[in-house]
Structure 1
Amino acid sequence: MQFSSGRRILVGNRAAEIAHHSLPRSARGMRTRLLINSRIDVAIACGADGVHLRSDDVAAADARVIFAQVGVSDPAIGVSCHTVQEVSLAEAQGADFAVYGPVFGKRGEKTAATGLTSLRAASRERRAAQHPMPVLALGGVTVANAVDCLKGGAGGIAGIRLFQNGNLVETVAQLRKMEEGLHR
């Protein structure tokens, strides 16, 4: 799940056991867009709003071609990135947003944290562009440290545990309140 500036919530499906046809219904009625991780075919089959690609998946531009071939004209396409160079490549290939991290590391995993300095670098040139591609912070992000990510230039917050642990409505409300405080 991802929270981004502009108060948009994106729901990414990682649960392979959920029936594909029930996914769009679970997001309807909310201000959400449903993205399927890595599986363009599943995204198309279930009528999802787009796809969230790994950095080693098909390029965002190629994903757009596949969607267009079946009549989907404006899918949301995000790319997971772990380096500043991957963020630049995702943007050059037409991604709508990048999910960057792990900023603070992942609990229980050996993946090294990219850190706030790297997040700032990944976000800096995007903010300078006329139509910047948002870079969302992921990895060890909590309600407490999310403000550091947004102050560092992130266009939003992405998380799994952040949105699974505790009360989802309360977590989103806290993030929105924090974001409003930044824009005052």
Structure 2
Amino acid sequence: MNPYRLYLVTDDRQPIDTLQTVVREAVAGGVTLVQVREKHGDVRAFIERAEAVKAVLQGTGVPLIINDRVDVALAVDADGVHLGQSDMPATHARRLLGPDRLLGLSVETEQQLFESESLPVDYLGLSAIFATPTKTDLKRHWGIDGLQRALSHSSRPIVAIGGIHADNLQQVVQTGVHGVALVSAICAASCPRTAAKKLRQMMA
């Protein structure tokens, strides 16, 4: 099973009870992996949110990934970590996480894509495919052509992220990408289960 297929990134502005409901419904609708994101720098709050999501994922077989923080991932015994380019170096993270946890890395430039080949990571998050309001500090937009180029150059599974929604999803899927990561298309949906189900059907 490809764990990256429909990759949910949580909305760090949602209160914990809403977060748990969204994750529960999204997984019921077909989400295959959940990354917990917390951008406010409060480690205690991050651990609390991660544990709340872990409780929802218990018994589902859906992996829990922690954004940026290796310490939080180890504290809650998560299934892996997703690193940005300014986070802990991947070699250090791998040493701390051990060989069995998933390690992802965000890639925003051709140079970073090239350098990732020698790093001990399991998958890449290619960011951003399209313009997105949640990321204002982007180096570039890859677009469909850039995504196809990245797929042909990388030996790692690639997850496409950034500005992906129901209207452009099929374009992205047709490249043969291993997965798509979404935030608002699921988190902001009136029914996350229906949204996830519809997205999975479109990816079939």
- Normalised to the residue count of structure 2, the TM-score between the two structures is 0.73
Q: Which of 91, 101, 110 is 1:75 aligned to?
A: 101
* Structure 1: unaligned runs, 5 residues or longer: 127-131
Tell me how far apart the structure 2 counterparts of residues 14 and 90 of structure 1 sit (CA, whole Å).
Answer: 22
Q: CA 1:170 to 1:24, structure 2 compared with 1: closer, same or farther past 3 Å?
A: same
Tell me how far apart the structure 1 counterparts of residues 143 and 123 of structure 2 sit (CA, whole Å).
Answer: 19
Q: Which of 125, 129, 132 is 1:106 aligned to?
A: 132
Q: Which of 104, 107, 117 is 2:145 aligned to?
A: 117
How many residues are paired up? 169
Matched residue of 1:140: which SS? coil
Partner of 1:172: 196
Which one scores higher on RCO, CA 8 angstroms, separation ≥ 6? Answer: 2
Partner of 2:165: 142
Give RMSD over aligned pairs.
Answer: 2.3
Tell me how far apart the structure 2 counterparts of residues 157 and 91 of structure 1 sit (CA, whole Å).
Answer: 20
* Structure 2: unaligned runs, 5 residues or longer: 7-29
Q: CA 1:140 to 1:65, structure 2 compared with 1: closer, same or farther past 3 Å?
A: same
Aligned-partner residue type, residue 113 of structure 2: V
Tell me how far apart the structure 1 counterparts of residues 74 and 137 of structure 2 sit (CA, whole Å).
Answer: 34
Matched residue of 2:32: which SS? strand
Tell me how far apart the structure 2 counterparts of residues 118 and 170 of structure 1 sit (CA, whole Å).
Answer: 30
- Normalised to the residue count of structure 1, the TM-score between the two structures is 0.80
Residue 4 (str. 1) matches residue 5 (str. 2): yes
Q: Deviation at 1:80? A: 1.1
